[in-house]
Amino acid sequence: MGTIQGQGPARPAADPYGLLAMSRAMFTCRSETDIMRLALSRVGTLGPCSAQAGYLVRRDELVRSPADWPGGTADLDGHVRRLAERDGPVPCPGRGWGWAFGLRGLGGLYGYLVVASGALPDEEERFLLTVLVQQTSAALSNAAAHPRRRREDAVARRRLRHVRAAVGEPLRSALSDLAHQRTVYEALDQVAVSGGGEDAIVRALHGLTGLSALAEDRFGNLRSWAGPGRPDTCPAPDAARHAEMLQELARELGPVRVGGRLVALARPHGEVLGVLALVDPDGRADDRTLFALDHAARALALELAHQHTLAETELRLRRELVDDLLDGTDERSAYARAGAVGHDLHRPHHVIVVEWPDLAVNNSFLRAVDRAVAAIGMRALATRHSDKVVLLAQGRPHDAELYEALSREAGSRAGAVGVSARCDAPRDIPRRHQEALRALEVRRRSRDRIGTAFFDDLGLYRILGPGNSYRELEEFVREWLGELIDYDARYRTALVETLSQYFDCGGNYDRAARALAIHRSTLRYRLQRIREITGRDLSNVDSRLNLHVATRLWSVMLGHAE
């Protein structure tokens, strides 16, 4: 975007959350000038930038719009026109940096948004400006469709008047087709104005055609249905075959019959985001049906593109919030940011760390974690942190409920989950994160290395935190159990295990013998050998305590499971 000399003034704080509210307002505007005015008014909330001027393409020429917006000059008009439909720098007197952002859509270039600043925007501000430009372009594209359709309607009417005397039935048929097309336009326009989303588009298509209509995502999963005959279950299709079908459909210009369905793709800018279909096993569909399906698919493409942009922005904001909370951030700001993305941070939370060694921690795995959390009805914010996923969850997961849901989504039971103690304020989140890591570490070094570990249940192991080399622990174990470990290795005996079970059973001979599946006299013999080999007095309180802790470390923290 170019560079400037010197250091600008302190940057004001950006307000990215207003973009979400502005986007809905833009898509209800039918005036391109009103859309541009909304965009210009939002620039100043995204950082140190200001809106210099806006331009719209009118009869193949760039015209300043709105004309009364302060900042536009004849010199600036000339510089923008010389860009020849490219984005680029423009001089803005008194400002160190100026840039003209092209507003483009399916119809080509709609205009420019000229932004100026005393300092080069940083990465976050450039991202927010890019989102604003994308939303403005989409809204202009939507608004531009209305006058185009009115012009097409007017042209068709004039043509029909010229041939009315010579054409009878064909004229009436054409008028009927035109009326139907107008009905289609009006129905889909009403959906766009009401903001009903994809469900409303599917219902409108059913009403226009009389056939059951449905929308699926790009993977073939049913998202919406209108009309009779909705199946009780909708199994996902074979992934490879479905991808091949989408490739074939993408080569066609309009709806295609696939078995008992007529199918059209929703693909803004060439990317397939969904599928719109009509159920027509008897082949009743005519040209009017195909017309309605084609235009409904275009409306769905705009809606899905809008949803996709909003979802990406919200997801980024949620992840950044969790990252800041883990590092420690201002509580007042944290509450406000959490509320903006629909999460109540005032409620008690637990920090949960998820690790699945056999899976890469990428966006796909993060989405699988989100689905698992949703499946058990838990509200949580998630982010990637090193080779783990960290959740900030409302409430405490029930026993192994989260682990089982994660295992189903991951298709593997190789993972482990660490859960912190209860967190009542954002300032406690960094410490609770360490507790969750500690619980996960204990689980990973225990005999059963998979499943869920709760910090509240760690007992002694709370003080044995992660992050060290365990050298001190190993030295302690060698000091108290070294002779027994070496003896077991040399003679293939189980004296360390015998001592561990003896202590775990509270020194009760009968219970320990049953746990070891040996006779009581055999247990007595082994304990006597332990006294002889170690020289320790098992009746001494200090010796018993140190030996008990050493056997626990041997069996759990140092991973010496049988």
- pLDDT value at position 86? 92
Most confidently modeled of 70-74, 84-88, 313-317? 84-88
Count CA within 13 A, CB hemisphere, residue 393. 27
d(CA 512, CA 526) in angstroms, rounded, equals: 12
Q: What dihedral do alpha carbons 154, 155, 161, 167 form, nearest 10°?
A: -130
Give the pLDDT band (50/70/90) at residue 8: very low
With cut-offs at 50, 70 and 90, classify the pLDDT of residue 7. very low
How buried is residue 251: exposed, middle or buried, by Cβ count under 10 Å (0-12/13-18/19+)?
A: exposed
Q: Name the residue among 97, 100, 98, 127 with its Cα closest to residue 112.
A: 100
Assess whether pLDDT exceeds 80 at residue 82. Answer: yes
Q: Specify the 3-state DSSP secondary structure of 189.
A: helix
CA pair distance 355, 97, nearest whole angstrom: 46
pLDDT at residue 331, rounded to an integer: 85
Q: Residues 538-558: pLDDT tens digits?
A: 888 878 888 888 888 887 655
pLDDT tens-digit readout, 264-275:
888 877 778 888
The 50-58 sheet, strands edge to edge? 61-64, 50-58, 108-117, 97-105, 88-89
Tokens found for residue 71: 């900042």
Report H helices in 195-264: 197-209, 239-250
State which of 257-266, 289-298, 348-357 shows the largest mean pLDDT. Answer: 348-357
Under the banding of pLDDT at 50, 70 and 90, the label for residue 2 is very low
Quick check: 13 pLDDT over 60? no
The phi and psi torsions of 419 (rounded to 5 degrees) equal -120, 130
Domain 471-557 architecture: Orthogonal Bundle (1.10)
pLDDT of residue 145: 74
Mean pLDDT, rounded, of the chain: 83
Q: Side chain identity at 498, as an amino acid letter? A: T
Rounded average pLDDT over 189-216: 84
The answer to whether the CB of 125 falls within 8 A of the CB of 47 is: yes
Quick: pLDDT tens for 310-335. 656 666 777 788 888 888 888 888 88
Question: CA-CA distance, 502 to 552, in Å (whole number)?
Answer: 12
Beta-carbon contacts of residue 193 (< 8 Å; ≥ 6 apart): 28
Residue 559 has pLDDT above 60, yes or no: no
Whole-number Å distance between alpha carbons of 436 and 404: 18
Is 18-144's fold the same as 173-230+238-345's? yes
Domain 347-463 belongs to what architecture?
2-Layer Sandwich (3.30)
Residue range 18-144 forms a domain whose CATH class is: alpha beta
Alpha-carbon dihedral angle through residues 154, 157, 162, 163, given to the nearest 10 degrees: 140
Higher pLDDT, 180 or 503: 503
Instruction: Please give the pLDDT value at position 341.
Output: 77
> What does the block give as tokens for 33?
């000038």
pLDDT digits (tens, 9 = 90+) for 153-188: 677 777 766 656 555 566 667 667 778 778 887 887
Give the list of residues 6+ apart from residue 536 with CB closer than 8 angstroms, or none: 480, 530, 543, 547
Asked whether the bond before 9 is cis by omega within 30 degrees of 0, the reply is no
Residues 6+ apart with CB under 8 A from 543: 536, 537
- Looking only at Cα atoms, what is the longest distance across the chain? 120
For residue 464, the model assigns a pLDDT of: 58
For the segment(s) 173-230+238-345, the CATH number from 3.40.50.720, 3.30.420.40, 3.30.450.40, 3.40.50.10090 is 3.30.450.40
Q: What angle, 0 to 180 degrees and rounded to 10, lies between the N-to-C axes of helices 197-209 and 169-194?
A: 160
Q: How confident is the model at residue 468 (pLDDT cuts 50, 70, 90)?
A: very low
CA angle, residues 373, 421, 556, in degrees to nearest 5: 95
Compute the average pLDDT of residues 221-249.
Answer: 83
pLDDT at 49 over 90: no
The average pLDDT across 450-457 equals 87
Every domain of the chain and the residues it spans: 18-144, 173-230+238-345, 347-463, 471-557
pTM: 0.42
Report helix, strand or coil for 400. Answer: coil
Q: State the pLDDT at residue 292.
A: 87
Burial category of 507 from C-beta neighbours within 10 Å (exposed 0-12, middle 13-18, buried 19 and up): middle
Residue 460 banded pLDDT, cuts 50, 70, 90: low
pLDDT of residue 3: 42
Cβ contact 369:389 at 8 Å: yes
pLDDT(116) > 60: yes
